[in-house]
Structure 1
Amino acid sequence: MGGDWSELNSDLLHLISKKLEKFSNLIRFRSVCKQWRLAVDSTDLPPQLPCLLQPDPTLFSTSYSAFSVSSNTTSQVKLPIGHREFKHTFHRAPSIGYLLVNSFTPVKLQFLLNPVTENKLHLPFPKGTLFHRMIYMGPNPNSNSRTAKEGVHSVVLVLDRFEKTPIKSIMFWQSNINKITTFRIPSISGPALPGYYKGKLFVTRWDRGETNVFDMETGAEMNVVIPNPNEHSMFFFLVEAMGDLLGVVHHYNYDGGIREFKFKVYRLEHTDEFDECRWIELQGIGDRVLFLTRNQGFCLSTSDFKGFRGNCIYYLELVEDRNKDGQRSYNRRLLRYNMEDGTKDELLNNVDFYATWFVPSLS
């Protein structure tokens, strides 16, 4: 075929774009030229499946690998963000297609980046803010909007490096009014993280064996104390899952001297005002799929995202290896855990420490 590819008929380009289901193909198509980019209509695309993004090990490279758990394939893509910035990127789905980025070049900035559209939303966090972890980034539960400029909450746990008191700061950004609210919570010992659910912040306290609740609008601690399950003093993950708050525990059973890894999932049963709450253990999670990494997680439904097996948990596990000389090395791998029978499958080996889940969006 001769001629200029950028002059292809816009209707034909639109038909081709409707066949694109992979994140990597979507980026390549839109990168050809402006006409090809405009031919992609977000309303025609099927829901974009989450992928595991990993940076190229080269320091200033913008190449990434995108692993699709639905097709078990890896594609190479170019993103408008370098490895150095990606190392300071935190992501928590549902994110409507954005990554939270700490940029250290040339000055330290924080912004939301949509790597598909290259749209940036700069955040009004104070200079020198050191993000510890992202707790939640997604639609405001009290808003009908699903666009980042109009109805998104971004909740960030800030590490107080120079504080001597056992507290941590929470920064709460509301996109519709571009406002930052800051309040403080007791420092959490152990690997548990706060969880965001229905406009409230749930904090698991390992030292007390309970979960406390904070009102996100005022930052005040509510008069709510939820005893954690007796067999587990704390949760490793608190995940909002299709209208429920799930507490996830992973532990090892020792059967006949063999160490066996297991997950347990609990659902928070509560009244509308949270004046009565308790954790109920679930035998399965139905058609839901959990994605966990670095003490963070999110949930999707197989009814909305085809290509996944329901009642499963995708997670990253750190594995210790020893060579013949006894020297230790560590490797992370991506696994899928079946809640029905407790079996697990390895999907990907040698996963980069900075790998993160990402759900693409054209919004």
Structure 2
Amino acid sequence: MPHHKKHDSYWSRLAPDLLQLICKNILDISDFVRFRAVCKDWRMAIHLSDYSQQPCLFNADILNFNFYTLNSTQWTKFEIVSNFKEKTVLGSSQGYMLIRDIKTWSHYLLNPITGNEIQLPLHDYYLKLLDVELEEGVPKYVAVFTCELIHLAAFVKIYRIEDEKLTMVYQECTAPDVVGTFYKSSIYITSSYDGKVIDRKPGIAMHRMSPPTNMNPFRQCRPCGIASGLLLLEINTRNPECLFEIYRLDDENGSARWIKTNNIGGLVVFWTWTSCICLETNNSGLYKRNSVYYRSSKGFGRFDIENATAEILQSPPPIWYSWFLPSLV
């Protein structure tokens, strides 16, 4: 038998085009979990902004992260590297989860697929993740809501992330029901009563922009950044069918205003009380465009925006969960 010389090979040297093609076809959360096992150099070679994405729902127990996908109607779990007994998940955005260490009262961002962690200099009594902004797949800005225990003061804080260090670029007092999202070069911060657009780089409030039906105690709003601008979902909390009204931001003529719409084109929105994701899709897949997929007391539902009708799709186990969009970097 002829002797074959052994050559060293590295996955990170895989042809870039082939590597991108492989990752574009990673759809199910179980495939993301398997991808986590490959070498870090290979993962770091991935720079995708348009790979096929399938949101899933997640919750965490002491030892595992649990993910539920609508297409498989099954739970996928994988072990957490460190014991999660004294930690809890406070929210997620752009593939990162906000984790609290209950013992030390410290917080950090965690990508459960890659294991990447970003420490946050926050030790507040109450913390809520508003949004994370990515640049080439890497977190560059993070916006949080904090509440101090001693002074009971509530703030929105925006941090810039550079070389694993965080610099606060914006801070202001706010209402406790505040939500926010990054879009274009700005972030929109709003509550049920007020709202404003902030330029995230210098941290300057540009102009006020209240939600369309502000001062309505029976409605809650949720902004969602998209490639072309900003959407706003208003949720009627008195309606048992969880009906939504959708608004699109019109700021092309120098004055910003909300325009009610029943057509968001090829977009689909995934909503729970703790998360909101908006993606492009097509009707050939699992999710139908121009729809809102939501969670109610009856189970998973789909709201048809054009016809203003709702239907229940399935009823998963009644546990706490939030929408999560896996990220490869």
**Same-fold status (TM-score > 0.5):** yes
Instruction: Name the SS for the 1:88 alignment partner.
Output: strand
Letter of the aligned partner of 1:225 in structure 2?
R
2:316 to 345, 349, 355: 349
C-alpha separation in 2, matches of 1:263 and 1:131: 28
What TM-score do the two structures reach when normalised by structure 1?
0.70
Find the aligned partners of 1:177 and 1:54 in 2 and give their Cα distance.
27
Residues 1:179 and 2:177 aligned together? no
Aligned to 1:315: 294
The TM-score, its normalising length taken from structure 2, stands at: 0.76
Q: What whole-Å deviation, never above 9, does each CA across 1:156-193 have from its counterpart, x for those lacking one?
A: 1112333256x42414232358332154334326x452
RMSD: 3.9
What amino acid does structure 1 have at the position aligned with 2:136? R
Contact 2:90 2:129 in 1 (8 A): no
Given the alignment of the two structures, is residue 47 of structure 1 paired with residue 44 of structure 2, yes or no? no
Compared CA separation, residues 104 and 279, structure 1 to 2 (3 A):
same
In the other structure, the counterpart of 2:251 is: 270
Matched, 1:146 2:131: no
Match of residue 287, structure 1, among 249, 266, 270: 266
Residue 201 of structure 1 pairs with residue 184 of structure 2? no
Distance in 1, Cα, partners of 2:171 & 2:84:
32
For 1:205 and 1:108, locate their aligned partners in 2 and report how far apart those are by CA, in whole Å.
27
- The answer on whether the counterparts of 2:179 and 2:223 sit within 8 Å (CA) in structure 1 is yes
Question: Residues 252 and 75 from structure 1, CA distance in 2 versus in 1: closer, same or farther, beyond 3 angstroms?
Answer: same
C-alpha separation in 1, matches of 2:47 and 2:322: 26
The residue type equivalent to 1:352 in the other structure is I
Kindly tell me: are residues 85 and 227 of structure 1, through their superposed partners in 2, closer, same or farther at Cα, counting changes over 3 Å? same
Q: Does 1:109 align with 2:114?
A: no
Q: Which runs of 5+ in 1 are unaligned?
A: 1-8, 140-144, 320-331
Q: Quick check: 1:242–1:300 contact (8 Å CA) kept in 2?
A: no
Question: Which amino acid in 1 is paired with 2:182?
Answer: Y
Partner-residue secondary structure (3-state), 2:247? strand
Q: Structure 2 stretches of 5 or more lacking a match?
A: 1-8, 12-17
Aligned partner of 1:122: which letter?
A: Q
Aligned identity (percent) is: 19
Distance 2:109 2:10 in 1: 31
User: Structure 1 residues 81, 308: closer, same or farther in 2, change over 3 A?
Assistant: farther
Indicate the SS of the match to 1:24.
Answer: helix
Residue 252 of structure 1 and its aligned partner are, at CA, apart by 6.1
Instruction: Give the secondary-structure state (helix, strand or coil) at the position aligned to 1:91.
Output: strand
Instruction: Measure how far apart 1:277 and its partner are.
Output: 0.9
Count residues in correspondence: 309
Q: For residues 230 and 335 of structure 1, do their structure 2 counterparts lie closer, same or farther at Cα, with a shift above 3 Å needed? A: closer
What is the rounded CA distance, in whole Å, between the counterparts of 2:78 and 2:268 in structure 1?
A: 26
Q: Give the aligned residue type for 1:264.
A: E
- 122, 145, 152: which one pairs with 1:157? 145
